[in-house]
Structures are given as structure tokens and as C-alpha cells.
Amino acid sequence: MAYASNEDLFPVWREPRSVWERTGLTLDQQRRLDVALVAVILLLLGGWIYSTIDAIRSGGSPSVARRLGGEPSLLARDAPPAATFLLETAIDRFTDWERQFAGESGEVRIVVRQPGDTLALPDSLTAGVEVVYRPVEGADTAAAAGDAASPDAPGIWNVLLRVRNAIRPVPEFNVVTLVPASELRSGRIGSYRIGSWPADGRYEPPRGFVRVTPENMDTYVSEHVQLQDFLTKGQENVWPKYVVVSTLALDKVELTLQELERQGHPVEDIFVISGFRTPWYNQTGGDTSGRGALSRHMYGDALDFAIDNDGDRRMDDLNGDGRVTVSDARVIAAAAEAVERAHPNLIGGIGIYAPTGAHAGFVHLDTRGYRARW
């Protein structure tokens, strides 16, 4: 039997005969290479940190970021991501502030102001955030607010927040600036006939009117109610029109709908039969039987409506008996009674109307300040 030699089992290292036989670096060479690589990395890192700090101070965009990303740096003064962050934070704070105007229901979407009134904006708005108003009608101009002034021009104004060149609308919130009642001349504003309020002494006539145009009539003044729901019937071809809107009445309606939901009656939509009525129409327009001389509709704090989830503009079957009767209107009235017990500041009229040829029943709600039932 032949045995292998020690050299066969454990080859002995020998000096390479040429550079072509070199298989790697020596330990000393490897150490020197590692030190050089670390120095290069530290140099690059130091340069990147310096350029970043310099960009932050000057508001510029680091050249490295420009070359790598091809987009403006997140650190640039006009960078959209930074502005977006500030806007989202400001909108959150603004939304917290606007809840004071949303009523007990939290669903009122407007704040009503006389021309020249001020709107005290939240103190917690982030520095650099500017409030801007834009007309709902879509005008190209926007009035920049100073430190709380609402636009003097009558109309409905979207509220927007701006940071540098970025801008965001405040969702579901509008400022309504009224046309002063002093604009009323011989019972008209322009070509629109309004009439005059009874000199009864119990109720003061409105101080101003919301100007309604074809462009703004679809504006939601609460979760389920649009501005056009307050329009008086007639004068179809006369624009602009003028209405009176009470945010208390809106709040009462929305609370009633919420109560219906709690009682197991889903509410997706309502059909408003009557909102604001001009004194002229209340006295002479349509069927005047049953209208009070001091109808709350003339003061903008009354709504006649039905639950209309299927969109047929008639009352739905709320009590589940398979028919639409006066009993369905009573379901809404019972919910409104619960609202008045919980919110005495919304006490007023609750009227129940049976189905007729024109309407399949409805309920009247108002906030006249004392209890009335019919």
C-alpha cells in the first residue's frame, strides 16, 4: 500500500513566480484598502450632510437630490410635501374650530354673516397658513382674509387655506354673507318680488337675505338640505333669487334625522316640500288655505319635508305596514319630539300632514321658540 506524502496532504505555500500568479492581497494590503474605503465613505457622507444643512438654511434644493430624484427636494422652501403637511395640520385645527358653527347635530355646513361682520378665526392656525375666500359661483377672484374679516360682498364663499403656492379647501364649510335688508325697495330686490313682513311686533323681519343663483343653488347648507330647498315657488325665470335660512332650523332637522336613524329608520335623502316663503307668496301664491299670517316659513326657520330614500319625491313607508299614510309622518314627528326634549333651545312647531293629491304626507318643523302642535 502506498501512502501520500505530507506535501501532498498539506501543500506548502511558495512565492508566486509572476504577477499573473497572484491570487489576492496580502493582509497588510487588505488593511490599507479597508482604511481607504472608509475614508472615502466618510468624505461622501460629510459632503452630503453639509449640502443638506446648507439647503435647509438657504431654502434651496441639494444638488445630489436634484440629480438622483429629478424632482424638487423635500427640503426645498417651495416643496409640495412640506406644504401639504402644513395644510393638513391646519385643516385639522380649522375643522375643530368650525364645529362651533355645526350645531348640536354637527351637520350644519354654513356660518351666516352680515356684511362687515368679522369671523374670528382659530388662534391655533400654524404660522404661514393664510385663509382665502373663493366665491361658490366660481369667480376667478378670491379675497384674502386679513386676520378674521369675512368678505363684504354678498354671496356664498368657500373657505380655503393656503401655504405658499399650495391651497386646500376646508371641507363642508362655507361662509354666507347676506344682502342687507336695506336693499329691499318697494317689496323687491332687483326684479325679484319679496313683499313686506307683517307689522305685528312679535317677530322682527329678517336683517338680510341669501342671494341664490343657478351656480350656487346646489350648495349643501347641512348634510341633507341644499340651498335650493329654501327657494319660494314661482318667479322661475327671475335671477338672482333671495331666501332666508335659519341654522337653528337646519340643526333641528338634522337632529331629527339622526334620531330616526337611532330608532331604526335609515335616512339617505329627504324631499323638502317648502322652505322659505316670501311674504308676497305666503299671502297670494298657490293655495293659501292653512297658511298663517305669521308663518314661520317667512322667517326662514321652518321646513316641510318627507323622508324620500327612493327618490320618488313622496314619503316613504316608515312604519313598515306596506302603505304610505299619515302614520309615516307621525314617525318623523315622534323623532322631532325627542329632539325637543333633549334640546330645549330648538323648541317650536311640529305639524303632521296627511297624504293629499299633491304630497304623500309630510312633517313641518320650526324653531319659533315656543311649543306648537297641529
Distance, in Å, from the CA atom of 333 to the CA atom of 305, rounded to the nearest integer, reads: 11
Amino acid 149: pLDDT: 46
Tell me the residue type at 10: F
Amino acid 143: pLDDT: 47
DSSP class per residue in 19-71: GGG--S--HHHHHHHHHHHHHHHHHHHHHHHHHHHHHHHHT---HHHHHHHSS
- Per-residue pLDDT, averaged over 188-196, amounts to 97
| Integer-rounded Cα radius of gyration of the chain | 36
Amino acid 288: pLDDT: 54
- Which H or E run contains 350? strand 349-355
Distance, in Å, from the CA atom of 200 to the CA atom of 215, rounded to the nearest integer, reads: 36
Distance, in Å, from the CA atom of 193 to the CA atom of 248, rounded to the nearest integer, reads: 26
Residue 333 pLDDT more than 70? yes
Amino acid 94: pLDDT: 76
Between 119 and 138, the more confident residue is 119
Residue 355 pLDDT more than 80? yes
Cβ neighbors of 360 (< 8 A, separation 6 or more) are 306, 314, 315, 324
DSSP class per residue in 182-217: GG-BTTEETTEE-------SSSPPPSEEEEE-TTTT
pTM, two decimal places: 0.74
Residue 280 pLDDT more than 70? yes
Q: 113: closest CA among 69, 64, 174, 55?
A: 174
- Give the number of residues written for the chain: 374
Across 64-78, 143-157, 337-351, least confident range: 64-78
What's the mean pLDDT when you consider all of the chain? 83
Domains of the chain, with CATH numbers? 80-176 (no CATH), 179-373 (3.30.1380)
User: Distance between terminal CA atoms of the chain?
Assistant: 124
Strands 155-163 and 130-135: antiparallel
Amino acid 42: pLDDT: 87
pLDDT more than 90, % of the chain: 52
CB 247 within 8 A of CB 220: no
Q: 73: closest CA among 56, 48, 50, 49?
A: 56
Q: Is 197 left (phi over 0), alpha (psi -120 to 50) or beta?
A: beta
Residue 176 pLDDT more than 60? yes
